[in-house]
Structure 1
C-alpha cells in the first residue's frame, strides 16, 4: 500500500510517498516545494503516477486552516482515498517516534508514516448546502466578534476625557455597518435553509432542544457536516473536544479536564447553548441545577450540560424525532428519543 503524506502550506506543499509492506515502511520518493494550486496539484498527480503503476494510493494531510481543501477535493475527484486528520494527532505521533528536528519535508514524512500505521477515516466532502452554511455561520461569527471589539472601542472613546466628535462618528458608522452585515448574514442563513427541505427539517429537530435557536442549530449542523461521520455520543464529544480527559498515575489523581482537541467552534456553541438550557425548566436545566447543588463550579456544570446537549442533538437528527423532555432511557436520565439509548446519551 502506498501512502502519500502532504505537508500543507498556504502557498506550497511538501510530499512524501511511502510504501508499507508486511509491517515494513520505506520512502519511495519525496518532493517539494510544490505550488498549492490547481497547476501544482496536477503536476503532483503526474509525479505520483510515475511510482504507483496500478497500486492504490492513500493520501493523508492535516486540516491546516482552509489550505488543505484544494488538495482534498482534487484527490477525492480522482477517486483516491483521502484522509484529513487533526494536526494534534500527527504532533503526538511524531513525539511517540522521537522525531528530532522539524522541517516541511520531515513533516511530510511523519504524515506519511502516520497514515501508513493508523486506521484512518476517509474524508468525504460535505454537501454544497452545508459548505455554504458553514461559510455563512463562520462569517457571522467573525463579523460579530469585530462588532464586539468596535463596541468596546466606542465605549472607551465616550469615557475618554477629551475626544474629537469626528472620531466618535467614524466609530459609530463602523458599528452600524457591522450591525447591518450581521443582520444580512442571518437573513442569508434563513434564506439558504428555506431552499433546502432536508436541512430545514434537521434544523427544526435541533430547535426542539432547550437552548438551541436557529443560528446555533445552523452552526452545529454546519460544523458537524450534518453529523454525517458521527454515530455515537462519545464521537461527537470527542469531535467538539468536550470529552473528559482523566489525569491519573499511580496514587496520584489529578483534576480531570476537557480535552479541547476538537472543533473549537462546535465546543463554543455547545457552551453558549448550555447557558440558555441551564435557565430553562427542562431536564437539561434540572441537570445543571443538580450539578450546582452537588458542588460543581458553574463553568464545569455548563460544560457537562453542553456535552449532553450535543449528544442529544446527534440523537434527534439521526432518529428524525424531536426532543422529548419527558423521555427516560432504560439507563436512567433524560433523552430526546428512544434512539438516544443507542447514541451514548
Structure 2
C-alpha cells in the first residue's frame, strides 16, 4: 500500500488514475488518521478504515466509510456539520469519521454495530415503528394518515431533521417544520401534521421506547395548534340544483361501478364505504331499505338500517342487475389497487 509522506490531499486524490479493470489499489493517510485509506478501483474512489474491531477481533479488517467527493467552496467554510448528507464524503468528513471510529475502536466498540443502533434511534425509524402499530392500522383513515406522514415527515427535502436522533430533536425543529408547511401556504396540512407529530412523540415517550431512544422530555408537549394560529375549517357545501345536475351528469359519464355507486350515495345519504362493501343480502327492494350488519362497524353493535329515497330503486345498479338475472355477492364489483385507486373487477360470485 502506498502512503504519501504528507498523507492524502484533494490534489493527490484527483491525480490518482483509476485501476485497471478487475483490480484495486490503496493509498493511506498519515498522522492521527493513518488508518484511513482510499481504495481506487476501475470505477470509483472510496474511503475505508483499517483496524481490529470489537473485543474479540484478532486481525485487522476494513470498514467502508463511503465514496469520495471533492469539497465544494461552500463546504470550505467552518462548520460543525461534518456528516455526509448525500452518501459521499469529502476528505475532511472522512477524516472526522475515522477519528470517531478510532475512539470507539479503542474502547472495544464496533462502529458498524454502533451506527446500526444509532440508525434505529432516528426519527425516521421511530415513524416506521409508529406506522406499524396495531392501534394505528385499525383506524378508519389509516392509509390517508400514512400518506400524510410519509409525505411531510419522512421526506428529507421537506423535513430536515428526519435522520436526526430522536433525543436531538427539540421544539424549535418541530416549530420550524410546522411553520414552513403553514406558510406554503397549507394551513390545513399543517394542522394535521402537528397532530401526527404530537402522537408520534407520545408514542416515543412510552417507558420502553423512551429508554431505548434516550429521550428525556417530549419536545412536542408544549406545542399545540394554537401556537401556530392553526384552526380547523369545516367545509360547508350546499348542493343546489345546478351542482346536483352537474354531479349527476358526471356519474352518468363514469359508468359502472362508480357512477351508480355515487348516484345511490346522493339519493340515500349513506357513507360511501357502506355502498363500497354492500352485499345483495343487505338490500330489501320491497321496503327500499339497506341493512348494514353490526360487524361492519368499528364498534360492533346492532344492524344499522337506512332507507332509500323513492326514486333510488330505479337507479342503474339495483334495477339493471336484477333484470339481468345475474346474482353477485357484492352490489359493486371492484378492487382496491396498491396505489389506493379503485378499479373494476370483472369476476362474478354465484
**TM-score category (smaller protein):** under 0.3
Instruction: Point out which structure has higher relative CO (alpha carbons under 8 A, 6+ apart).
Output: 1
User: Which is greater in Rg?
Assistant: 2
